[in-house]
Structure formats: C-alpha cells, structure tokens
Amino acid sequence: MRSLFAAAFALLGLALTGPAAAQSTNRTFEGVYSVHARGVEAGDFNFSFRQTGASYSATASREMKGWVGAALNRSQDYNYSVSGSVAADGSLRPAQYQHQGGRRREDRPNGRLIRATFTADDVVTTATPGRPNMGDPPATQAQRRGTIDQITAIAAMIVADGDPCARTLRVYMDGRSRFDFVMTPNGAVNINSRAYEGPGVRCRVQFRPIAGFSDPQEAATLTFLFARTESGMWAPITIEMPTDGVGVVRLEARRLTVNGTRLR
C-alpha cells in the first residue's frame, strides 16, 4: 500500500460484551512500528486510534529512512487520517479518509493530497493537485461498495469482537487499490518482541488483489500476529501489508500503548 499501511498493518478499556458496549466505549491505542522492506529495516510507521462512543478516528505516518529513503527519493513517505462511525454491531465504517505524501516537488513540498469519501453505495476519490490515478483497471462501483480504507482495516483488527483471525476485510487502499484480506486462524504462539512478551495468536492471511493497482499484483499468503490485551482488544504485533512501490512490507511493533498504559 502506498499508504499502509494497512491497513497494516494497534491498539486498545473494558472488555466488550456486545454491540451496545462497543458503541459506548471510549478507548485509545498508539503503536510505533519498524518497517521492514526488501529484507532490511527501512523506516518507521506510527499508528494512533481513538474511539469515543459511536465515533472513531485514526491517524498514521510512514517514513522510510537511511539509504532506502534516499533511494526512493522520499516517494514512500506518507501521512494518513480517517474518521467514521461505529455501527450497532461494532464494525467500523469510514466516512472521510485522506493521505498526503509521495515524491516532493517545488509546487507541492508536502506531497499530493488524496481524499476519499465513503458512502453506503460508493467511494469518491479526489486529488489536489490534478486528478487521481485510479489504476488499471480501476475498481468498479460494485467493487468499491462496502469497503474500508487500510487505516480503518488496522483499527478493525484491533477492536475485533472475538477471534481477529476469522474475518474478511474488503479494503480500498488510498481511494484506489482494491483488495481483500481473507483471514483464518493459524494457531497459538508465544511472542517475544520488543513491544510485547507473552501468548498470542497467528493469522494466515490471503492477500487477494482485485483492481486499481499500478503494477500487476499476485495473490500472496501473509502472516499477522496479535496479542490479546486486558482491555479485550487485540494488539497487532506483526502485520504484513502490500504497498504501491516497494512490494509487501512487514510492520513489527516496537512500542504499544493501550488506553494510556504501555503494553509489556
């Protein structure tokens, strides 16, 4: 994902007991991740999620560093934000998404701004300056219907009610690239990472590209690791995400803060 990630790809109060609890919950998550691309630790990914009652918002940033950032001419550095609502069943429904970044130019030092407006039937994408590149072939309205952006996708895994590995996420990345994450359980694991040590779960994730990518994409099998927190939400420890430019990148958590308390 030009934008990841997500998106992937976390972050988390009181355990949820049903849809009503999901809507009445106030909770936050902040995560700092290392970005691994093409076999090296290439940058940082920061993610922040906040739910207040039946509304949510999330922000993220990705910065490639060192020789990788220099070689890419900052073309993979992005800032993201999204806001939306929490449905009666606890699912997240984005309304306004945007990202800004990419190759720096004198006429747009902060990069190009892409906005996507999500409705029940469609997603409308705009770009400043110019017109958005919708890929080849672009996603149809039917393919866009019922999708979420990649930043919401990461948040949706965090607030999953039940097994985070038993779901399909219909993602419309950056208001352009359409793909599915088909997630299935792949066993319990013991996690020993910089951000967390303890039991966790592993997901087998089928990445299924559908439309809107600049370059031809192939289906791939990815791996996500999650830790259950005392809040009842799930903290993503490792997420693998597609990008438009450097292939699949892996996000590895360095620091996770749930409802103001650092996860250990």
pLDDT digits (tens, 9 = 90+) for 252-263: 999 999 999 999
Q: Dihedral sign, CA of 12, 246, 100, 147?
A: negative
- Element holding 217 (H helix, E strand): none
Grade residue 4 by pLDDT with cuts at 50, 70 and 90: very low
Mean pLDDT computed over 8-35? 60
d(Cα 182, Cα 175) in Å, to the nearest integer?
20
pLDDT at position 94 is 98
Which sequence spans correspond to the domains of the chain? 19-262
The pLDDT tens digits for 92-110 are: 999 999 999 876 554 556 7
Mean pLDDT computed over 209-214? 92
DSSP three-state, residue 160: coil
Output Rg (C-alpha) for the chain, integer angstroms: 17
State the Cα angle at 160 between 155 and 162, rounded to 5°: 165
Grade residue 239 by pLDDT with cuts at 50, 70 and 90: very high
d(Cα 5, Cα 3) in Å, to the nearest integer?
5
What backbone phi and psi angles, to 5 degrees, belong to 67? Answer: -70, -25
Grade residue 19 by pLDDT with cuts at 50, 70 and 90: very low
Q: Dihedral sign, CA of 15, 19, 24, 27?
A: positive
d(Cα 151, Cα 165) in Å, to the nearest integer?
17
pLDDT at position 109 is 62
**What is the value of pTM for the model shown?**
0.86
The pLDDT tens digits for 51-91 are: 999 999 999 999 877 655 545 555 678 899 999 999 999 99
